[in-house]
A = this chain, B = another copy of it.
Amino acid sequence: MVTLSRAEEKLKRLNRIGIALSSTRDLDQLLGMIVTEARAFIGCDAGSLYLRDAEQLHFVVSQNDTIRKRLGEKAEKALFRPFSVAINRESIAGYVATTGENINLADAYEIPAEAGYSLDRDFDKRNNYRTQSMLVVPMKDHGGSVVGVLQLINALDEQGAVRCFSTEDEELVLSLASQAAVAVSNARLTKELKEAHYDTIFRLAVAAEYRDEDTAAHIHRVSEYSRVLARAIGLESEQQELVYYASPMHDVGKLGVPDAVLLKPGRLDPEERKVMEQHPLIGARILSGSHSRVLQAAEQIALSHQEKWDGSGYPNHLKGEDIPLFGRIVAVADVFDALTTKRPYKEPMGIADAMGILQKDAGSHFDPAFPQAFTGIIDEVIEIYSKYQ
């Protein structure tokens, strides 16, 4: 009676874990959570996870309480070495991925030779650890494909001594691994969809600049500068991501500017300048009327990134906080990048000098607080600057 109600309790807990895993959409966070939940559920000292791609298994998570207690969490993380193994029957994880079968070992140092697979003792040697009992299960998704391999090490009894994994453990972990597999597939799909979306946005931006001197690198930098500035002024991560996705499209409206104006080598006369200053309106028109939050933000940015704090910008001569927040952010990022970039007619300005110009124009061109905030994250700015040279 007691045993059975314990079994029920376990199954209910398994349901809750399944719901928690399915709710986690960030892939890295999810992978760590799978190992943490599985270890807490069964009670074991260590655990790890391999993720599968077409050809290999990638070792992506490793957790070990003994080593954490001995060295601290930071050192445990520093010890982590990603590596990959082939999908064949020679390694334990490879065997499980190939056959789709569980492996449940009382002692990983006593694997009979006829098994064909063997334990890689490298980790144990390097860290003075003793891997004893092991339960290794495939993470199969709903269609039966092996998405990864979950490895639990050294199950502990109530006194903290190493015990074997029971058949009940095996069944529960296999079920948890199935839920984990579906969650991983979903998180991967979400990641792929987001990447494909960003890539398309980026193509749109690059295409729009096709006739212009601006480059793919300019667009990437403005997008990344905008994101770090958004963080520096205290916006939440969702807003940071939104400005990152939306800002590349700030100049799409240049598509509507005729060659005769856009490509003119010298100074524009007042009439030509008027035509050129239509580009925010054209951009907003291209991007208007979407249900997508990204495109709504992009429309706002396209329309407002040429406005200035003191009202001397265009096209609507907005002043101060009447200029949408994202437009004020992208204005700083865009000007900073223009200053620090080489053009056919000018040499690039140094980063410190460009920061100085932003500061000087705080309150006239820019939101008074933003140049200061941008200077405050100069390390990150330099990193982005260097990445796309």
Contact = CB atoms under 8 A, between A and B. Distances in A.
A197 B200 CA distance: 8
A317 interface: no
Given A195-B292, A291-B199, A19 B204 contact: no
Nearest to A9: B11
A19 B18 contact: yes
Interface in A1-47: 1, 4-5, 7-8, 11-12, 14-15, 18-20, 22-23, 25
A286 B14 contact: no
A193 B197 CA distance: 8
A196 interface: yes
A290 B199 contact: yes
B255 A207 contact: yes
Nearest to A249: B203
A20 B211 CA distance: 50
A387 B19 CA distance: 42
Contact of A182 (B19, B175, B178, B286): B19
A315 interface: no
Contacts of A185: 23
A18 B203 CA distance: 39
A152 interface: no
A175 B16 CA distance: 9
A274 interface: no
A19 B295 contact: no
Given A15-B11, A141-B23, A294 B179 contact: no
A243 interface: no
A6 to B, nearest CB: 11
A320 interface: no
Interface in A151-206: 175, 178-179, 182-183, 185-186, 189-190, 192-197, 199-201, 203-204, 206
Contacts of A194: 193
A256 interface: yes
Contact of A18 (B5, B18, B200, B255): B18
A200 B255 contact: no
A287 interface: yes
Contacts of A14: 11, 15
A5 to B, nearest CB: 7
A203 B203 contact: no
Contacts of A18: 15, 18-19, 22, 179
B255 A22 contact: no
Contacts of A200: 197, 200-201, 204, 292, 294-295
* Chain B CB within 10 A, most for which of A11, A141, A294: A11
A368 B295 CA distance: 41
Contacts of A8: 4, 7-8, 11
Contacts of A25: 186, 189
Interface in A38-68: none
A258 interface: yes
A331 to B, nearest CB: 22
26 contacts: A1-B1, A1-B4, A11-B11, A11-B15, A20-B142, A23-B141, A23-B185, A25-B189, A186-B186, A190-B190, A193-B193, A193-B194, A196-B290, A196-B291, A197-B200, A200-B201, A200-B204, A200-B292, A203-B204, A203-B252, A203-B287, A204-B207, A207-B208, A207-B286, A208-B255, A211-B256
